[in-house]
Protein backbone atom coordinates (compact mmCIF):
# COMPACT_ATOMS: atom_id res chain seq x y z
CA UNK A 1 0.00 0.00 0.00
CA UNK A 2 1.42 3.41 -0.92
CA UNK A 3 1.94 6.05 1.76
CA UNK A 4 -0.88 8.04 0.16
CA UNK A 5 -3.27 5.09 0.49
CA UNK A 6 -2.14 4.53 4.06
CA UNK A 7 -2.64 8.23 4.92
CA UNK A 8 -6.13 8.27 3.40
CA UNK A 9 -7.11 5.15 5.33
CA UNK A 10 -5.81 6.60 8.58
CA UNK A 11 -7.76 9.83 8.12
CA UNK A 12 -10.87 7.90 7.10
CA UNK A 13 -10.55 5.82 10.28
CA UNK A 14 -10.03 9.00 12.32
CA UNK A 15 -13.14 10.67 10.88
CA UNK A 16 -15.33 7.56 11.09
CA UNK A 17 -14.36 6.89 14.70
CA UNK A 18 -14.98 10.52 15.70
CA UNK A 19 -18.35 10.41 13.95
CA UNK A 20 -19.22 7.15 15.71
CA UNK A 21 -18.69 8.55 19.20
CA UNK A 22 -20.34 11.95 18.67
CA UNK A 23 -23.72 10.91 20.09
CA UNK A 24 -22.12 9.08 23.01
CA UNK A 25 -20.03 12.09 24.01
CA UNK A 26 -23.02 14.42 23.50
CA UNK A 27 -24.64 12.75 26.52
CA UNK A 28 -21.53 13.07 28.72
CA UNK A 29 -20.68 16.32 30.48
CA UNK A 30 -17.14 17.62 30.42
CA UNK A 31 -14.76 19.32 28.04
CA UNK A 32 -13.04 17.80 25.04
CA UNK A 33 -9.25 17.71 24.96
CA UNK A 34 -7.58 17.79 21.55
CA UNK A 35 -3.96 16.69 21.92
CA UNK A 36 -2.18 17.78 18.73
CA UNK A 37 -4.09 20.67 17.14
CA UNK A 38 -1.98 20.55 13.95
CA UNK A 39 -3.71 22.61 11.31
CA UNK A 40 -7.01 22.20 13.11
CA UNK A 41 -8.86 19.77 10.85
CA UNK A 42 -10.01 17.42 13.59
CA UNK A 43 -10.57 20.38 15.93
CA UNK A 44 -12.94 21.79 13.32
CA UNK A 45 -14.65 18.41 12.95
CA UNK A 46 -15.10 18.09 16.71
CA UNK A 47 -16.64 21.56 16.82
CA UNK A 48 -19.19 20.43 14.25
CA UNK A 49 -19.90 17.18 16.07
CA UNK A 50 -20.14 18.78 19.51
CA UNK A 51 -21.35 22.34 19.10
CA UNK A 52 -21.11 24.55 22.20
CA UNK A 53 -18.75 22.09 23.92
CA UNK A 54 -15.53 23.52 25.33
CA UNK A 55 -12.60 22.09 23.36
CA UNK A 56 -9.15 22.66 24.80
CA UNK A 57 -6.41 22.14 22.24
CA UNK A 58 -2.72 21.44 22.79
CA UNK A 59 0.28 21.76 20.53
CA UNK A 60 3.89 22.85 20.70
CA UNK A 61 2.90 26.05 18.96
CA UNK A 62 -0.12 27.34 17.08
CA UNK A 63 0.10 26.64 13.37
CA UNK A 64 -3.55 25.98 12.59
CA UNK A 65 -5.71 27.73 10.00
CA UNK A 66 -7.00 30.92 11.56
CA UNK A 67 -10.62 29.75 11.27
CA UNK A 68 -9.68 26.53 13.09
CA UNK A 69 -7.76 28.12 15.95
CA UNK A 70 -9.23 27.97 19.45
CA UNK A 71 -9.67 31.10 21.55
CA UNK A 72 -6.52 31.83 23.57
CA UNK A 73 -8.07 30.55 26.81
CA UNK A 74 -8.59 27.13 25.19
CA UNK A 75 -5.17 26.83 23.54
CA UNK A 76 -2.30 25.31 25.49
CA UNK A 77 1.13 25.61 23.88
CA UNK A 78 4.29 23.71 24.72
CA UNK A 79 5.17 20.05 25.05
CA UNK A 80 2.06 18.10 26.07
CA UNK A 81 4.22 15.89 28.24
CA UNK A 82 4.80 18.95 30.42
CA UNK A 83 1.54 20.91 29.92
CA UNK A 84 -0.87 17.93 30.05
CA UNK A 85 -0.49 16.87 33.70
CA UNK A 86 -2.07 20.15 34.87
CA UNK A 87 -5.32 18.90 33.28
CA UNK A 88 -5.42 15.55 35.06
CA UNK A 89 -8.71 15.42 36.94
CA UNK A 90 -10.52 17.87 34.63
CA UNK A 91 -13.17 15.21 33.90
CA UNK A 92 -13.04 15.33 30.12
CA UNK A 93 -15.82 13.62 28.16
CA UNK A 94 -13.48 13.01 25.23
CA UNK A 95 -9.74 13.09 24.67
CA UNK A 96 -8.49 12.87 21.11
CA UNK A 97 -4.77 12.40 20.65
CA UNK A 98 -3.32 12.68 17.16
CA UNK A 99 0.34 13.05 18.03
CA UNK A 100 1.86 9.97 16.43
CA UNK A 101 4.70 10.67 14.03
CA UNK A 102 5.06 7.39 12.17
CA UNK A 103 8.61 7.15 13.53
CA UNK A 104 8.71 4.19 15.90
CA UNK A 105 11.49 5.53 18.11
CA UNK A 106 9.73 8.88 18.67
CA UNK A 107 6.33 7.27 19.20
CA UNK A 108 7.82 4.83 21.70
CA UNK A 109 8.84 7.78 23.87
CA UNK A 110 5.37 9.34 23.56
CA UNK A 111 3.87 6.05 24.67
CA UNK A 112 5.82 6.20 27.93
CA UNK A 113 3.55 9.07 29.12
CA UNK A 114 0.50 9.47 26.84
CA UNK A 115 -1.69 6.54 28.01
CA UNK A 116 -1.50 7.58 31.67
CA UNK A 117 -2.17 11.22 30.78
CA UNK A 118 -5.23 10.36 28.67
CA UNK A 119 -6.65 8.11 31.41
CA UNK A 120 -6.01 10.89 33.93
CA UNK A 121 -7.85 13.66 32.06
CA UNK A 122 -10.98 11.57 31.34
CA UNK A 123 -13.95 11.14 33.64
CA UNK A 124 -15.26 7.61 34.21
CA UNK A 125 -17.10 6.66 31.02
CA UNK A 126 -15.16 9.26 29.01
CA UNK A 127 -13.94 8.32 25.55
CA UNK A 128 -10.39 8.27 24.20
CA UNK A 129 -9.65 8.32 20.47
CA UNK A 130 -6.01 8.02 19.50
CA UNK A 131 -3.68 7.49 16.62
CA UNK A 132 -1.35 5.57 18.93
CA UNK A 133 -2.40 2.56 21.02
CA UNK A 134 -3.11 3.47 24.64
CA UNK A 135 -2.28 0.42 26.66
CA UNK A 136 -3.41 1.35 30.16
CA UNK A 137 -5.46 -0.64 32.69
CA UNK A 138 -8.18 2.02 33.07
CA UNK A 139 -8.70 2.33 29.31
CA UNK A 140 -10.98 -0.35 27.94
CA UNK A 141 -10.77 -0.88 24.16
CA UNK A 142 -14.09 -0.42 22.35
CA UNK A 143 -15.10 -2.06 19.09
CA UNK A 144 -14.31 0.04 16.02
CA UNK A 145 -17.00 1.12 13.56
CA UNK A 146 -17.59 -1.25 10.66
CA UNK A 147 -14.93 -1.17 7.98
CA UNK A 148 -12.09 0.14 10.18
CA UNK A 149 -9.21 -2.28 10.34
CA UNK A 150 -7.74 -2.98 13.79
CA UNK A 151 -4.58 -0.99 14.45
CA UNK A 152 -5.33 1.93 12.15
CA UNK A 153 -6.75 4.19 14.87
CA UNK A 154 -7.74 3.40 18.46
CA UNK A 155 -10.87 3.81 20.59
CA UNK A 156 -11.27 3.35 24.36
CA UNK A 157 -13.61 4.05 27.25
CA UNK A 158 -12.28 5.13 30.63
CA UNK A 159 -13.43 2.60 33.25
Q: What burial class does residue 17 get, using C-beta atoms within 10 Å of its C-beta: 0-12 exposed, 13-18 middle, 19+ buried?
A: buried
- Cα 104 to its chain centre, rounded Å, is 19
Minimum CB separation of residue 39 from ligand SAM in Å reads 4
Judged by CB under 6 A, does residue 42 bind ligand SAM? yes
Cα separation of 23 and 89, whole Å? 23
Determine if 81 is a binding residue for ligand SAM (CB under 6 A).
yes
Bridge partners, residue 95, by sequence: 33, 128
Helix (H, G, I), strand (E, B) or coil at 87: helix
* Contacting residue, 17, 59, 132, 153, with ligand SAM by CB under 6 A: 59
Stretch of 21-29, 73-81, 116-124, 146-154 lying at the interface with ligand SAM (CB under 6 A): 73-81
**Interaction between residue 125 and ligand SAM (CB under 6 A):** no
Q: Which of 87, 41, 46 is nearest to 63 (CA)?
A: 41
- 39 is a contact residue toward ligand SAM (CB under 6 A): yes
State yes or no: residue 50 binds ligand SAM (CB under 6 A): no
Q: Which of 21, 42, 39 lies closest to 122 in space, CA to CA?
A: 21
Q: Which of 17, 21, 20 is nearest to 125 (CA)?
A: 21
Q: In terms of CB distance, is 26 or 39 closer to ligand SAM?
A: 39
Please report how close the Cβ of residue 124 comes to ligand SAM at its closest, in angstroms.
26
User: Which residue of the chain is nearest ligand SAM when measured via CB?
Assistant: 38
- Least distance from C-beta 159 to ligand SAM, angstroms? 25
Question: Residue numbers of the site for ligand SAM (CB under 6 A)?
Answer: 36, 38-42, 58-60, 79-81, 98-99
Amino acid sequence: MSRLDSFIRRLTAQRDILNSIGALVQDTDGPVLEFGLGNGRTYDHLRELLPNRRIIAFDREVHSYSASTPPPEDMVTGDIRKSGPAFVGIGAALAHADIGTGHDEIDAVTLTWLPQLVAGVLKAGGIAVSGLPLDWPELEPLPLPDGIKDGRYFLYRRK
